[in-house]
Structure 1
C-alpha cells in the first residue's frame, strides 16, 4: 500500500517533497479486532506545484481522488498535509 500511494502521488503530482508515513500502529485497539498491524492509517506530507492556487479542501480532494483505489483496497484513514512550494510547512 505504501509503495502504491507513493507511486500514484509521484506520477500524478510530481511533488518536490513527499513523505508517506504508516501510522497504523498508533491506532491499535481503535476497534476490538484491530491490533495496529498492516497499512490502514497513513499520513501524506506533500509539496507540489500542482497545489498552487488551490484551496486546502481542493488539495485534500485531489489527493483523496488519486488514492480512491487504495481506500477500496483497505486504507481506512488518510491524514494529508499538502503545501505548494514556498508555503510554510508544519513538518
Structure 2
C-alpha cells in the first residue's frame, strides 16, 4: 500500500485528525502512524486501535503488512 493511499484512507475516516504516516522500511509495507483525534477521547488504547483497524477495512495483513500505531485524543485546553 502506498503511503499516500494509507494516509488518504486514514484522513477519510478521521477528517479532523492530526495524522502523520512514516514508511519505516521504505518498502511500502511497514508504516508508523500517529493519529490524534477527538474520536479517541475517553477510550482505552485497544478501542482506539480498533477504530483505526476498522477504518482500514481489512487491508491489514494483505495490502498492508505492518502498522505501528500511536493514537491519542488532543490535550484538553486550559480554561
TM-score relative to the length of structure 1: 0.71
Cα distance in 2 for residues equivalent to 1:51 and 1:3: 23
Match of 1:69 among 39, 43, 59: 59
Relative to its length, the structure with more helix (as a share) is: 1
Q: Which has the larger radius of gyration?
A: 1
5+ residue gaps, structure 2: none
Displacement after TM superposition at 1:70 (Å): 5.2
Question: Deviations for 1:15-40, whole angstroms, at most 9, x for unmatched residues?
Answer: 43110000025xxxxxxxxxxxx211
How many residue pairs get matched? 74
Q: Does residue 1:5 correspond to 2:26, yes or no? A: no
5+ residue gaps, structure 1: 26-37
